[in-house]
Structure 1
């Protein structure tokens, strides 16, 4: 008895090579944006506000 698995579509080889490349580019872009955010200085006025919470 088949559950429809025999009708799975296959991805052509030319497209399957592009998917990992796009994933790699997306991952690299996200890491770059994250690192820039982490390295960004905290504004003095925000630090002052945080200091008032004590």
Structure 2
């Protein structure tokens, strides 16, 4: 068993944010953009039909 008292993979072993890493900002921007694109999409007619059958 590994010494040190910590179990690998636990949340406290992950790197902490706030390092100012620009790649994290780029990822956030990409996620926001993808979300906005998804929100703007129309709901497919098949999905609306299925939802209508729930009533």
> TM-score, with normalisation over the residues of structure 2?
0.60
Structure-2 residue corresponding to 1:34: 35
Structure-1 residue corresponding to 2:10: none
Greater per-residue helix proportion: 1
Once the two structures are superposed, what CA deviation does each residue of 1:2-52 show, in whole Å capped at 9, x if it has no partner? xxxxxxxxxxxxxx66x1x11110100000001111111100111011001
* Backbone CA RMSD of aligned residues: 1.4
Structure 1 unmatched runs, 5+: 1-15
Count of equivalent residues: 37
Structure 1 stretches of at least 4 aligned residues deviating more than 2 Å after TM superposition: none
Higher relative contact order (CA 8 A, sep 6+): 2
Q: Greater Rg, structure 1 or structure 2?
A: 1
